[in-house]
Amino acid sequence: MITPNYLNPGDTIGLVCPAGYLPAAAVQTCVEILAQWGYRVIQGSTIGGSSQNYFSGTDQERLSDLQRMLDDPTVKAILFGRGGYGTGRIIEQIDFTKFVQSPKWIIGYSDITILHAHIHRHQQVVTLHGPMATAFNGEGWKNEYVQSLKEVLEGISSACSGPDHSFNRFGTATATLVGGNLALLAHLVGSSSDLDTAGKILFIEDVGEQLYNIDRMLYQYKRSGKLQSLAGLIVGGFTNCQDTERPFGKSAYAIIQEAVAEYSYPVCFDFPVSHSERNIALKVGATYSLRVDATGSLLAE
């Protein structure tokens, strides 16, 4: 795996929205704080782009905006404004030739899971699953999770811990870290962006899903062989889960625990990776060590 260069003061970070629409005002705090951190910021045309429908622009407009950032050698990192839906509509048309020649940090989560997975599979470049531009708002930039993004960009290695949980399965593992949003990971099965999870530490999270759908996605992943040969599993936040009128009968965590009960690798729950404020920056494709014991979980490079 190729790790992009860490950033230096004066380096440029590009801001774009390859999926859902985001008002330009929603990134202003992010722009100001990145400048305080010492970086130059350029905004793509999809920041505050077309508001005629759900997307930040047409497929071609979103593709062109992202392509410009990928091709620009002066841009050292691309931070996405938001996720939502839409990256999967343009992923096959992206040309990664110049990106591979001059790798840069790809930063985001949610729908950006598609980019993390695709780049991991085809370009073998480490990417960054973590807070996006809107996480800086409301003094969010002061919390430890946005600050973890700053530390990673500066090349500072750190460890992250999770609490003890009754579903945790003890053990240790050292392996490549992959993962992201469960819905996206399940939808990528069978596509050119599908992840090879064998021998890797997988992390998953999701938001706003029906409990039965979480069960369905877990079994899709399991039937595809994605869960049986993991080195370890990190379960992040499953926030704002919905239930049907006739209750499904299990929580999101209980659904996951049941799906992996037959395996022996370490598993931890309630790890701070999610659609909420608790969203630590993680390097997709980097090697991490995971320890799960009676004190909780610890993930460290």
CA distances from 241 to 157, 212, 238 (A): 33, 10, 7
Residues serving a catalytic function are 110, 205, 275
φ/ψ of residue 94, rounded to 5: -75, 135
Ordered alpha helix ranges (H), the chain: 28-36, 59-71, 97-101, 113-122, 144-153, 182-188, 211-223, 252-259
pTM recorded for the entire structure? 0.96
Residue 51 pLDDT: 65
Q: Strand, helix or coil at 36?
A: helix
Q: Which CATH class is domain 159-300?
A: alpha beta
Q: Strand, helix or coil at 23?
A: coil
Q: What residues form DSSP beta bridges with 175?
A: 288
> CA neighbours within 13 Å on the CB side: how many for 282?
34
Which CATH fold topology does 12-153 show?
A: Rossmann fold (3.40.50)
Domain boundaries, the chain: 12-153, 159-300
pLDDT in tens, the chain (301 residues): 999 999 999 999 999 999 999 999 999 999 999 999 999 999 999 999 876 789 999 999 999 999 999 999 999 999 999 999 999 999 999 999 999 999 999 999 999 999 999 999 999 999 999 999 999 999 999 999 999 999 999 999 889 999 999 999 999 999 999 999 999 999 999 999 999 999 999 999 999 999 999 999 999 999 999 999 999 999 999 999 999 999 999 999 999 999 999 999 999 999 999 999 999 999 999 999 999 999 999 999 9
What tokens does 12 get? 């440029």
- C-alpha 57: how far from chain center: 22
What tokens does 112 get? 């950006």
Rounded CA separation 64/121 (Å): 22
Rounded CA separation 154/76 (Å): 12
Task: Please state whether beta strands 75-80 and 105-108 pair in parallel, antiparallel, or not at all (unpaired).
Answer: parallel
Residue 52 pLDDT: 79
